[in-house]
Structure 1
Amino acid sequence: MARRRSSIPLRSSLRKLFPASLLREWSVQTGAVQRHRKVGIEALFWTVVLGFGTGRQRSIAGLRRAFEKATGRTLAPSSFYKRFRPEFTALLKLAVGHAVDSALTTSRRLEGPLSGFRDLVLADATVLRLHSLLEHRWPATRTNHTRAAAKLHVVLSVRGASCQAVKITSERAADGRVLRIGPWVSGRLLLFDLGYFRYQLFSCITRNGGFFLSRLKSNANPTIVAINRTHRGRAVDVVGQPLQDVLDRLQRDVLDVMVRVHFRRRRYRGQQSGAEQILRVVGVRDPRTGQRRLYVTNVAPEALRAEDVQAVYAARWEVELLFREWKQHYRLDELPSRKPEIVEALLYASILTLVVSRRLGELVRQRLGKRRDRLRAHRWAKIFEAVAQDLLLVVLRRPRDTVVIRGILQRFLLRESIDPNANRRSLIQAVEAREHQYRMAA
């Protein structure tokens, strides 16, 4: 019984994530496969996702060899190369959308200063350098040292440990313009860097019942309308004054005030109206440098203490760790082609590799019992990278042909996934326990 409970259904779990019937439906819808040949869409899909994304095969020729090894079929190089057309890219894009829509929501509850929120959501973007001949498709900014660059925008759910939204644009696209706010933000706390700072965005989140926390721009100068804590002695009276006028005169280590901000709404039918909103500004002085970091939020003081604001904002580094994992282990920034359809296909393949990795990692976590919290994302990424080629055989070969390798993989995954350092905490666990040492971030 114990052995049955700890077994991991590798093949069925991965094929259930992207069923063969759904892949065939997408292939017809996009025109990726016009007639059945040696290169079936299911085998091609899994070869690209488990081959290129894990860094084992860095060329189309390498992917072809991985395909031949997994399927036992021999192909002419030109026959395999011709599969990387815009139609196949469209299929991979549909697969990314399907993965985002069906993202897992774990039963894990947020704790500590995050306990009052349904989820913690992080939005950010990372830049990917491309071949200069692709500048017509993905133009870079003027300050960039290369002429072509793409930007990957991600909305990450901490509770679900998965991407809630993914979009690829040129580097010139502004970060905040890509994020779409709706009823889904209700009860969730969204963390932003300064690239997303817009009062219109904050107002939209508030109207939809969501919460946000962002750094305050250095030139922002809202009017203080109330204070959330009193100070003994001859405290400076700040109510009714612009924020920037009083900052240099304040000696207090923690500033917690309500401010009024004015902004212009989005233009609608040629008209653009003004609006105002009452927000909360928290300033916390770093004891090491003496600098005061200012944050703006709509979370009430009763729901989030001023002393916890800085630690909670540090959780935004989780998305930076995701980008590092993507680039180090899934080779997101190593795109060796100058053909736009191939580059875009490999971009989506890297995204799908992360999706498959996180889904399989969650299956392993569920079978670790009391030791489930000792599976760390960076450790799992290395493990998944090591077994990806074996997983390709498990997915594409008949079950009776992979009995031995599946048994070896299951024992390996359950054994190696456990971090030997039992006291090591993840970033989110440290934030929940109020133990995280804040790092200065832009």
Structure 2
Amino acid sequence: MNIDILRNSLTTRILWNCAEANGFYKRFGKITPQVFIDLLLHCALHQAGYCSLSQMSNYLSWQLNIDVSKQAIDERFTDSAYKYVLSVVNYIAGQRMSSALDTSFLEAFSRVRIKDSTKFKLPCWLKDQYKGHGGFGDIQSGMCIQFEYDLKSNAIIGFSLTNETRNDFEESREEPQPILSNDLLIRDLGYWSINKFKQIKSAGAFFLSRLNTTVELFDLQGNRFELKTVYQKMKKYRLTHQQFIVRLGIKEQIVVRLCVSLASDEVYEKRITTLKKQNQRYKNATIRQETKDRYHLNLFVTNIPCQILDTPDILKAYHFRWQIELIFKQWKSIAGVASVTAVRAERFLCILYAKLILILINYRFMRVIQSFYYRTNQRLLSPYKCMQSLWLHFDIICDILKRKGWRNTTYIDSLVTRFSRNHYLENRKKHITFEDLFYYYLK
């Protein structure tokens, strides 16, 4: 397994470069850049990130043979300290590493880019660093993590930290990552933008998104496209899916494929129930029949030619977007990125960024090992189970990253062996799993 990039991610040279960029090295003393990161990673792993100053002092003394008082440690948590750790996060996130499972998977596309964001509240004293929406409880601080990865190679394409106030639509307009020919971008409604679809199309790339139900639809002759008629026809003739060529929007228009399937009665009832709850704040709010007709349908828009993916395949392909939701679930339930501890702002941010370092490193290790096992026995590992184990056994990864015993394969063998026991994906009844989709889209 090629993990040179992983091993180099926490070398002393890189940490010193990050430190010099922020002027933090002037305050190190006994606590060198490597020691400071080691200490923060220990805190990030410890009880959802909380670790007292006394526990930090004991860790340095017992594990690294460095005697530093808790007061001296507390003095290290400064404005330049958390900027230094953030620079390490950005460096690791910027490292490109591919570990494709199978080159024939969705081979019509060079990359399958899935992007979404996750948000969480922060203590109010962090409002100067990360501004929040406010609202109930006067919560003035919050963070948004924008994350994008390539489903084919498992490489991280984008990773950024912004204010909670920055929404996905703003991100879509100022997306920093270039769009390449034959890319497929799968997006949620938050990133919906007709202008963005035009940009993707002009770059020779493809998009797949749910339909924004507030956008007007027209046929190629300029007549309003009626979804009510579509629903009635599908219900009458028991059609499972249909596709149409339509124009989106009134002023800004683009021609797309509209792929339609019937929603189950259960899904329809959930949608109507949710809408009723949203309308409770408005007096005499009623649900229009047109809205009810739309809620009977699953609606997707794309510019992928039907010769590449027909309508049933388009409907299945959108399920890939749910993988990023599972990744965010790992970050919150396993890494505890949303956990809040009542400590000084600088110390809180240092440990939060240390969690993100752990997440990024574990993500890469997990993908490398997942690729190794697929090529060995054609089975897929569960990312969630792997992340849980990596979080519990990060000491082994640290030994590899710091090149302790690197020539002794016992370290790697020990890590890999753990994943051969009860870490494979399991089939879920009545649910489309990633394993089902993966094998379906193999050549």
TM-score range, shorter chain: 0.7 to 0.9
Unaligned runs of 5+ in 1: 1-5, 227-238, 264-273, 436-442
Q: Does 1:350 align with 2:351?
A: no
Q: How does 1:227-238 map to 2 (within 5 A)?
A: none
Which residue of 2 is the match for residue 225 of structure 1?
220
Q: Judging changes above 3 Å, is the alpha-carbon distance between structure 1 residues 367 and 259 closer, same or farther for their aligned structure 2 residues?
A: closer
Partner of 2:29: 37
Relative to structure 1, the CA distance from residue 260 to residue 53 in structure 2 (aligned partners, 3 Å threshold; closer, same or farther) is farther
The answer for the alignment partner of 2:160 in structure 1 is 167
> Which blocks of at least 5 consecutive residues in structure 2 are unaligned?
269-295
- For residue 24 of structure 2, give the secondary structure of its aligned residue in structure 1: coil
Equivalent AA in structure 2 for residue 193 of structure 1? D
Q: Which residue of 2 aligns with 1:26?
A: 18
Q: Tell me if the contact between 1:127 and 1:171 (Cα under 8 Å) persists in the aligned partners.
A: yes
Residue 106 of structure 1 is matched in structure 2 by 99
The normalised TM-score by structure 1 is 0.79
The alpha carbon displacement at 1:139 in A equals 3.7
The 5-angstrom pairing of residues 37-116 of structure 1 reads: 37-49=29-41, 51-53=43-45, 55=47, 57-61=49-53, 62-109=55-102, 111=104, 114-116=106-108
CA shift, 1:224, in A, is: 1.8
Per-residue deviation at 1:393? 6.0
Q: Give the corresponding residue for 2:243.
A: 256
Q: Contact 2:120–2:338 (CA<8 Å) still a contact in 1?
A: yes
In 2 relative to 1, CA 433–392 (structure 1 residues): closer, same or farther, beyond 3 Å?
closer
1:56 Cα deviation (Å)? 6.3
Kept in 1, the 8 Å contact 2:10–2:401? The answer is no
The answer for the alignment partner of 1:284 in structure 2 is 261
Give the alignment's TM-score, normalised by structure 2.
Answer: 0.79
Q: How much has 1:280 moved relative to structure 2?
A: 1.5
**Match in the other structure for 1:236:** none
SS of the aligned residue for 2:114 comes to strand
Deviation at 1:223, TM superposition (A): 0.7
- Give RMSD over aligned pairs: 3.2
- How many matched pairs? 400
The aligned residue for residue 290 of structure 2 is: none
Distance 1:278 1:86, change over 3 A: same
Aligned partner of 1:298 in structure 2 is 303
Structure 1 counterpart of 2:280:
none
Q: Matches of 1:213 and 1:20 in 2, distance apart?
A: 43
Tell me which of 417, 420, 430 is aligned to 1:418: 420
Is the partner of 2:301 in helix, strand or coil? strand
What is the CA distance between 1:216 and its match in structure 2?
A: 0.7
The answer for the alignment partner of 1:268 in structure 2 is: none
Distance change >3 Å, CA 22–CA 299, structure 1 → 2: same
Structure 1 counterpart of 2:286: none
For residue 51 of structure 1, report the CA deviation from its aligned partner: 4.0
Structure 1: which amino acid aligns with 2:350?
A
Amino acid at match of 1:432: F
Displacement, 1:158?
1.8
Q: In the alignment, is the contact (CA less than 8 A) between 1:181 and 1:204 conserved in 2? A: no
CA distance in 1, matches of 2:399, 2:423: 32
| Cα distance change on mapping 1:322 and 1:181 into 2, 3 Å | same
Structure 1 position 138, deviation (Å): 3.2
- Give CA-to-partner distance per residue, 1:305-362, whole Å, 9 cap, x none: 1112221111111111101111121111113145443333333222211111123334
How far apart are the structure 1 equivalents of 2:32 and 2:425? 47
Q: Distance in 2 between matches of 1:247 and 1:58?
A: 55
Which residue of the partner structure matches residue 379 of structure 2? Answer: 373
| Alignment match, 1:187 | 182
Q: Is the 8 A contact 1:55 1:331 kept in 2?
A: no
**Shift in Å, 1:284:** 1.0
Contact kept in structure 1, 2:186 and 2:208, CA below 8 Å: yes
1:122/1:190 contact within 8 Å kept:
yes
In 1: Cα distance, 2:343 partner to 2:63 partner: 27
Distance, in Å, in 2 between the alignment partners of 1:27 and 1:68 is 23
Cα distance, 1:430–1:53 mapped onto 2, change above 3 Å: farther
Partner of 1:311: 316
Matched-pair identity in %: 15
1:202 pairs with 2:197: yes
Query: Aligned equivalents of 2:370 and 2:77: distance in 1?
Result: 35
